[in-house]
Structure 1
Amino acid sequence: MKKKYPALSIVVPSGSKIAQGLKTLEIRSWIPEQLPLKDLVIVENTQLLSAEYTEEMGKAVAIVDIESVHPWREDECAAACASDWAEGYFAWVISNVRPITQPLGVPAKRKIYFIDIDHL
């Protein structure tokens, strides 16, 4: 039976790092409309999606929860697997990581969007 899940696209290799528990913060310039954000599917894709390039095929690699968001701090680069820090971004706190052992192809889009997939 199919279920509708919220999804967030993340460029390679960050989605896999989340699935492996190595990346515990996702850094974004925006905040989700509601928190907590439960059962968020992490979709790994190859291109940074922009206003001009809004969609491609990706693969669902994990299901996570986002419990909270706070202004990103310079001492959080390691948790975000980031090489450098910039002011004005938000750290999404990733918890309850459930890797998808058989990644499946799904659309990768901007912001938070919804996908219909078989119950995972």
Structure 2
Amino acid sequence: MRFREKIIKALSIVRPNGSRIASGKKTLEVRRWQANLDPAEDLLIVENRRFLHVDGEEDADGVAVAIVRVKAVRPFVFADMQAACASRFEEGWLAWELSDVRPIKSALPIRAARGIYEVDFP
């Protein structure tokens, strides 16, 4: 039986933080930019091994680890450090509140890219 693929928005996150999201340990993702996602919209979390610093940069070694929703985006505060599994705090960052976390059981290779991007996903 073949699964039909659908287009889904994705976000790449450097290891081990994608797995921390999938396990429920990391409930906030911290970024400098707004998510611009509807709270009912699915977002695929792709874990990869290196930071992508330049627009258009990709990593072919990504792995799909979870599907989540971003229920809200708000200013990142020092008290968020543990929920974000963060090692440093910086003013002006945004905390993406993650909800409806659905871990992906089998390792599915998916390209990682900078920003929010679209992929075909079974």
TMscore range, shorter length = over 0.9
When you count strand as a share of all residues, which structure comes out higher?
A: 1
Name which of 20, 24, 29 aligns with 2:27: 24
Kept after mapping to 2: 8 A contact 1:35/1:68: no
Residue deviations 1:92-116 (CA, integer Å, cap 9, x gap): 0000000000020011001100000
Is 1:111 equivalent to 2:118 in the alignment?
A: no
Q: In the alignment, which residue of structure 1 is the partner of 2:16?
A: 13
Distance 1:35 1:86, change over 3 A: same
Deviation >2 Å, runs of 4+: none
Distance 1:53 1:3, change over 3 A: closer
Q: In the alignment, which residue of structure 1 is the partner of 2:90?
A: 86
Residue deviations 1:37-83 (CA, integer Å, cap 9, x gap): 62100000011001177100200000000010000001100000011
The TM-score, its normalising length taken from structure 1, stands at 0.94
Q: In the alignment, which residue of structure 2 is the partner of 1:68?
A: 72
Is 1:38 equivalent to 2:41 in the alignment?
A: yes
The TM-score, its normalising length taken from structure 2, stands at 0.92
**How far has the Cα of 1:35 moved from its partner?**
2.9
Query: Whole-Å Cα distance in 1 between the matches of residues 100 and 77 of structure 2?
Result: 22
Identity of aligned residues (%): 47
Gaps of 5+ in 2: none
2:37 alignment partner AA: Q
